[in-house]
């Protein structure tokens, strides 16, 4: 496959460079828009968080504080936009995100539109504002020239159409990563809610292999750490493991279950934990 701009471009910095040739990255989705959640992810050893504007109950107004807190704690902060539009993508990059994750990118045309929205002219069509957070409020005189260097663009392959057009998506100039959404992929195969189904994992594996062969980073969401481990073994450059809500619920449930085991006097008659599900 010929690529106009391979990922090894020496100008790449930050998350772009880490996706390209750094150690594999471990992330998690954040749907609870609290500084504390990001700081807990950081002290727990995560490399990256994805602030989720597609499924989380918050908007761009929350981003500056969350991104600042995450970056200050040492995390790379990616934002998943709710839609593939110039406005949505530009807004999260203006807020200073290290990368943007675009859901439901079903074909090469959609991938091209996403990348153009994220890149400054002449590579793309992103609107320049020199006094935004990402430009250090005007204190970065080189912002227009350097903005693209560190910003990672990750498009989600999460439907059968995207799998069919994978070569076209991978050939998109200036794209950094293709990221599999196994939940929606399972639904598109008529296997809703079965991200571990062999037909889903086979296609996901094809995306990761294809991405590596095409000079892009392959990433994937894994609902469990066990699935995450298999994806790292399959060569994933980025695995986003679970979601803040599920990790919190599992922690709560594990503590409550452990108390039941240790203290028969407070044991619930029926164990309600779903920690293993």
- List contacts with ligand 3PY (CB under 6 A): 29, 158, 181-184, 221
| Closer Cβ to Mg ion, 174 or 184, answer by number | 184
| Closer Cβ to ligand 3PY, 29 or 46, answer by number | 29
**Do the beta carbons of residue 169 and residue 117 sit within 8 Å?**
no
| Closer Cβ to Mg ion, 56 or 181, answer by number | 181
| Closer Cβ to ligand 3PY, 182 or 205, answer by number | 182
Query: Choosing among ligand 3PY, Mg ion, none, which partner's interface includes residue 221 (Cβ < 5 to 8 Å by kind)?
Result: ligand 3PY
| Closer Cβ to ligand 3PY, 17 or 201, answer by number | 201
Distance CA 201, CA 227 (A): 10
Residue 55 catalytic? yes
Query: Choosing among Mg ion, ligand 3PY, none, which partner's interface includes residue 124 (Cβ < 5 to 8 Å by kind)?
Result: none
- Shortest Å distance, C-beta 69 to ligand 3PY: 22
What are the C-alpha distances in Å from 104 to residues 22, 141, 160? 26, 35, 10
Binding residue for Mg ion, selected from 158, 165, 174, 244, defined by CB under 5 A: 158
By CB under 5 A, which span of 17-25, 114-122, 173-181, 187-195 interacts with Mg ion?
A: 173-181
Q: Is 52 in the site for Mg ion (CB under 5 A)?
A: no
DSSP secondary-structure letter at 275? T
- Shortest Å distance, C-beta 227 to ligand 3PY: 11
Which residues contact residue 34 at a Cβ distance below 8 angstroms, ignoring those fewer than 6 apart? 66
Q: In the chain, what is the straight-line distance between the N-terminal and C-terminal CA atoms, in Å?
A: 41
Neighbours of 66 (CB within 10 A): 22
Distance CA 274, CA 250 (A): 8
Which residue out of 55, 104, 129, 197 is catalytically annotated? 55
Which of positions 182-221 make contact with Mg ion (CB under 5 A)?
184
Position with the least CB separation from ligand 3PY: 181
- Shortest Å distance, C-beta 146 to Mg ion: 32
Q: Which of 184, 154, 211 is nearest to 15 (CA)?
A: 154
Residue with tokens 């260097």: 149
Q: Per the structure block, which two tokens stand in for 197?
A: 């189904």
Residue with tokens 């912002």: 143
Q: Which of 213, 115, 150, 190 is nearest to 15 (CA)?
A: 150
Catalytic residues: 55
């Amino acid at each position: 496959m010929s690529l106009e701009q391979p990922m090894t471009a020496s100008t790449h910095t930050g998350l772009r460079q880490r996706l390209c040739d750094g150690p594999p990255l471990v992330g998690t989705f954040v749907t609870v828009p609290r500084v504390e959640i990001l700081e807990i992810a950081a002290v727990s050893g995560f490399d990256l968080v994805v602030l989720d504007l597609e499924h989380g109950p918050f908007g761009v107004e929350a981003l500056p504080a969350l991104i600042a807190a995450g970056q200050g704690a040492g995390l790379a902060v990616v934002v998943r936009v709710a839609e593939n539009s110039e406005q949505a993508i530009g807004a999260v990059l203006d807020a200073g995100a290290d990368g943007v994750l675009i859901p439901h990118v079903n074909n090469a045309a959609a991938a091209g539109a996403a990348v153009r929205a994220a890149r400054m002219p002449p590579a793309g069509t992103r609107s320049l504002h020199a006094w935004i957070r990402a430009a250090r409020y005007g204190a970065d005189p080189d912002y227009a020239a350097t903005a693209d260097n560190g910003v990672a663009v990750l498009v989600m392959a999460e439907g059968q159409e995207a799998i069919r057009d994978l070569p076209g998506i991978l050939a998109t100039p200036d794209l950094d990563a293709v990221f599999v959404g196994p939940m929606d992929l399972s639904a598109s195969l008529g296997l809703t809610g079965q991200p571990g189904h062999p037909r889903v994992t086979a296609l996901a594996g094809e995306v990761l292999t294809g991405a590596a062969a095409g000079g892009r980073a392959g990433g994937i969401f894994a609902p469990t750490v066990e699935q995450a481990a298999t994806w790292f073994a399959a060569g994933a450059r980025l695995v986003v493991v679970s979601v803040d809500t599920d990790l919190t619920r599992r922690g709560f449930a594990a503590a409550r279950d452990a108390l039941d085991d240790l203290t028969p006097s407070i044991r619930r008659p029926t164990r309600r934990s779903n920690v293993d599900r």
